[in-house]
Amino acid sequence: MRKRVLALFSMLLVFAIFAAGCGNGNETGSKANADGGDKNTEETAKGSITAVGSSALQPLVDEAANQYMSTNQGATINVQGGGSGTGLSQISEGAVDIGNSDIFAEEKDGIDGSKLVDHKVAVVGMGPVVNKDAGVEDITKKQLIDIFTGKIKNWKDVGGKDEKIVIINRAEGSGTRAVFEKHALDGATPAKAQEQDSSGTVQKIVSETPGAISYLAFSYFNDSITPLKVDGVAPTEANVETNDWKIWAYEHMYTNGEPKGLTKEFLDFILSDDIQSSLITKLGYIPVTGMKVERDADGNVKNK
């Protein structure tokens, strides 16, 4: 009897703690953050922050957070995925400390970007990829648009094998898809086709499905798929840096207001030469410092 009561009580207790944790987690986080900012200006900041959003950026933030935490005892950085939309909405509601996004806040409907501060930490190049069987390596931009809008339905029309084209889209609202539609398809709406949730799945499907075409970030390119050249330009880091390859995006880490305390320390850490030159290239991103051009939210490009 006593044991059972004890068990019941402990269950209730666990539940209560869990509920309290859910409710106040963000508050304590930001409070700790504020404390860190006030007290430890000369030392490393302590406390806990949360970064949420873009799954394309997640591997980088995860790895950087691990490195940061191993050298700075007492600092906790929680990194979660959830997509660019989640990152932007959570940061504009002030629910998290950092919101990760592949797209500019101005590009997303329903986000008030006025209070958000943009930190561009990396650049990610993206490109169309096809199954190896398609027999195509180079197409024109017009052909690419025609394929994705459903006007061209067979690979033989663009110089490949006689094989039906299978389009694989990313989910509507995905950061990668938004970038691809804007810069590769010139804003054209792709035909209804199957949609997949994650880059990993897309990579697997394209490598296994004859005639498949999709688009991926450079970091997901490998030997099992064929990246396409567009108008003769190869999807390489060097071409992105000069904007010869136009399908790329900044990886943004948004903060609500100017960053303070641990948030600021961590952002500085990611932007440090150390991380920019080693970790970012290692994980397949392009350092923002190496870019020879700059692009704004409206897509205007100018030389740095």
Partner 1 sequence: MKGESILELKDIKMTEKQWNSSTKIWTEKRGRILTFTSVSIMIMIAISILYFVASKGFSTFTVNKASIVDFFTGIEWKPGSLNELGKPIVGALPLIFGSFAVTLLAAIICSPLAVGAAIFMTEISPKFGKKVLQPVIELLVGIPSVVYGFVGLSVVVPFLREHLGGSGFGIAAGTIVLTVMILPTITSLSMDAIESVPMQIREASLALGATRWQTIYRVILKTSLPGLLTAIVFGMARAFGEALAVQMVIGNSTVIPTSFVEPASTLTSILTMGMGYTVMGKAENNALWSLALMLLLMSLVFIIIIRILGRRRVY
Footprint on this chain of partner 1 (rule: CB under 8 A): 1, 5, 8, 12, 15, 55, 81-86, 88-89, 93, 108-111, 166, 171-174, 192-197, 201, 204-205, 208-210, 212
Would you say 87 or 227 has its CB closer to partner 1?
87
Structure tokens given for 162:
């006689």
How many whole angstroms separate alpha carbon 279 and alpha carbon 235? 21
Radius of gyration of the chain (CA): 22
Amino acid (one-letter) located at 118: D
Yes or no: say if 254 and 99 are a contact pair by the CB < 8 Å rule. Answer: yes
Would you say 80 or 239 has its CB closer to partner 1?
80
In the complex, least distance from residue 167 CB atom to partner 1, rounded to whole angstroms: 9
User: In whole angstroms, what separates CA 51 from the centre of its chain?
Assistant: 12
By the 10 Å C-beta count (0-12 exposed, 13-18 middle, 19+ buried), 283 is classed as: middle
In the complex, least distance from residue 2 CB atom to partner 1, rounded to whole angstroms: 11
Would you say 47 or 175 has its CB closer to partner 1?
175
Would you say 79 or 212 has its CB closer to partner 1?
212
Strand partners, 75: 47
Would you say 43 or 197 has its CB closer to partner 1?
197
Concatenating the DSSP letter of every residue in 223-266 gives TTEEEPEETTB---HHHHHTTSS--EEEEEEEEESS--HHHHHH
Would you say 72 or 196 has its CB closer to partner 1?
196
In the complex, least distance from residue 208 CB atom to partner 1, rounded to whole angstroms: 6
In the complex, least distance from residue 7 CB atom to partner 1, rounded to whole angstroms: 11
Would you say 40 or 207 has its CB closer to partner 1?
207
CA 50 to each of CA 40, 145, 255: distance values in angstroms, whole numbers, following the listed order: 19, 39, 11
Structure tokens given for 67:
């490195």
In the complex, least distance from residue 110 CB atom to partner 1, rounded to whole angstroms: 4
Would you say 48 or 176 has its CB closer to partner 1?
176
In the complex, least distance from residue 173 CB atom to partner 1, rounded to whole angstroms: 3
Nearest alpha carbon to residue 122 among 300, 282, 298, 301: 282
Nearest alpha carbon to residue 126 among 215, 200, 250, 230: 215
Residue 243: left (phi > 0), alpha (psi -120 to 50), or beta? Answer: left
In the complex, least distance from residue 278 CB atom to partner 1, rounded to whole angstroms: 29
Residue 17, CB-side half-sphere exposure with 13 Å CA sphere: 6
In the complex, least distance from residue 89 CB atom to partner 1, rounded to whole angstroms: 4
